[in-house]
Amino acid sequence: MKKNFVSVKQIENFFETRRLRNEQSRRNYYKAKTTNYLNKVDPETWVLDKYVRKFEKYKIANANKCEREKRHAIQEFEKQLKKGIEANRKGSRTIELKKPKKYITKSQAKEEFQLFCKISRADDDGIVSEITTWKRVHWRETQWGHFVSASINQTCFDVNNVRPQFWRSNEAMSHGDKRAMEIKENYRKNLVKRIWEEAVQNLEWIEKYWKNALIKSWSSLFSEIYNKYKELNDKIFAEHPTRNRTKEKDESYKKRIEENS
């Protein structure tokens, strides 16, 4: 995108407006998401605070991004001033606002990986075993539950660590209270049935001793993980025509709803 500027002050105002507009857009998005949760849970629960914390993180990231782009635009503007290049008699300078290079984020990599952890374990009808209750449900009725927190990269992308789990159980596990401990104990018990005690102990060992380990190349690994599991997921959907990435087009899920109605 190219933009005409006549002063550094105008550039600063332009990016400040962009920052505020982005924040308002994200604020409206989280308000809508909170409303969706209010239809399901007590408004006095911690779920409301979830989006407040997310929004605060977004504000920081958005401000940093706008600041980087503003500095780039000012540098280009000042270069043109030195060269004496003028776009018109008003003395404006045409600056190309280049979009920053896109990198695959951890969230994007997680989305494809976690989707694989559900659909790869589903039968031909899209049915999986929910990890904490062992109930047989459609994979769309579950979330991706992590035995060890997803904040730890070393286990976040370990297929042994991620299983289909009901959203209430998944959310409750992060509370750290008595109910959370009971749910995790059920998770562990059923996980041992699937991958044996030694593999579960290995996950727990990594959680205890590797959670603070630094790996400098995570950004490139996220891209590799994303591409690997996107390809695998596309292959699974191609092999099962009744399934679809889009919920509204998923025939297997529609069939499950009809059976339960």
In a domain, 8, yes or no: yes
Rounded Cα distance, 106 and 153, in Å: 9
- Expressed as residue numbers, the domain containing 92 is 2-96
In a domain, 234, yes or no: yes
In a domain, 239, yes or no: yes
* CA dist 48 → 42, 60, 261 (Å): 10, 20, 31
Q: Is the dihedral of CA 159, 192, 140, 236 positive or negative?
A: positive
Category of 30 on φ-ψ map: left (φ > 0), alpha (ψ -120 to 50) or beta: alpha
Which residue is associated with the tokens 């997803």? 150
**92 and 115: one domain?**
no
Question: Residue 89: its pLDDT value, please?
Answer: 46
**115 and 230: one domain?**
yes
In a domain, 101, yes or no: no
In a domain, 195, yes or no: yes
The answer, yes or no, to whether residue 216 has pLDDT greater than 60, is no
**92 and 132: one domain?**
no
The answer, yes or no, to whether residue 8 has pLDDT greater than 80, is yes
**132 and 254: one domain?**
yes
In a domain, 40, yes or no: yes
The residue among 28, 62, 96 that closes a domain is: 96
N- to C-terminal Cα separation, the chain? 51
Measured CA angle at 84 (ends 79, 90), to 5 deg: 105
Q: Which of 95-104, 127-136, 211-220 has the lowest mean pLDDT?
A: 211-220
* Phi, then psi, of 93 in degrees rounded to 5: -120, 135
The residue among 42, 72, 96 that closes a domain is: 96
Q: Is the pTM of this model over 0.75?
A: no
**171 and 61: one domain?**
no
Stretch 197-224: mean pLDDT: 79
The number of folded domains in the chain is 2
Q: Give per-residue pLDDT as tens, 10-65.
A: 888 988 999 999 988 888 887 777 766 656 555 555 456 667 778 888 888 889 88
Q: Which of 96-105, 141-150, 245-254 has the lowest mean pLDDT?
A: 96-105
**246 and 176: one domain?**
yes
